[in-house]
Amino acid sequence: MTIDHFQYCLDQLRRFDHDRYLAILLTPVNVRTSLCALYAFEAEMARIPHSVSEPMLGEIRYQWWRETLDKMKPGEEPSHEIAGAVCETFVGSGVDPSALIPLIDRRALELSEDPFDTLDELVAHVGQVAILGADIAFQLAGQKAQYENSKKEIGKIVTGYGIISHLRRLPIDASRLHLGLPLDLMGKYEIDPHDVFGAIIRPGFSAALGEMLERANLLFREGRDAAGHMSPDLLAILLPTSLTPLYVNRLRRSDFDLFRQSSEIPAFRRQMRYLRVRWRRHL
């Protein structure tokens, strides 16, 4: 990947996916550029539903990406920096760029103004997005065989972290009058949508948040404990997921206000967690 493309992707991660930005700095050099391109692409796809004023505009952007990836050939120079990075690194790694289209299709579902009916539906969606990304990441890193041996466990791990990412975006969803909570929890805890849109936290909202955090924590711990010790190559890709317990502890604190306080963990704590995971070879 050219220096310009790599630097652009790295800057996008620093701005929009800081967990992965810190992780990519610890990734083996031989796969760093490929994973940087993938992560920047995923960050771009995740941002689209939250950065457009109406669903049709988001669908236009997603369709541009579908067509660009589907027609992408070696030696091309797409007009978008991330597309150029994907073209350079994917082709060189033997991964067809069109493999990213199913991930776009899943993200496009988030353009809908209708909330998920149930927590199970939300978790299934988050899990499918996370697993699609993990599939490609391990292919780019040449770790497909190792990944297949632990796919069930890794699926739980990345889904747990995906739920955390979804919860951290709730204030953005609320600011655009979109309900990020599933309807079954809204009913179970008698949550008024107007309270969510008005950034008013009542006991019901805290209870729903707590239930979703518990699901995230359970999935992460089940996957982590079943997977046990992992190779450094697998861990390099899963480093951000190791932050799941830190986020769970922060978000469920009784004095934490999701709408008015940052959910971000200080960078030095995240870096220390990454180094600990690498040393122990265990999430």
- Span 164-219, pLDDT tens digits: 999 999 999 999 899 999 999 999 999 999 999 999 999 999 999 999 999 999 99
Is it the case that residue 1 has pLDDT exceeding 70?
Answer: no
Would you list the domain boundaries of the chain?
1-112, 114-283
Cα–Cα distance measured from residue 213 to residue 248, given in angstroms and rounded to the nearest whole number: 6
Class of domain 114-283: mainly alpha
Of residues 229 and 73, more confidently modeled? 229
Tens-place pLDDT, residues 46-60: 999 989 989 999 999
Cα–Cα distance measured from residue 47 to residue 233, given in angstroms and rounded to the nearest whole number: 28
Q: What letter does residue 54 receive in the DSSP assignment?
A: S
pTM (predicted TM-score): 0.96
Cα–Cα distance measured from residue 83 to residue 272, given in angstroms and rounded to the nearest whole number: 32
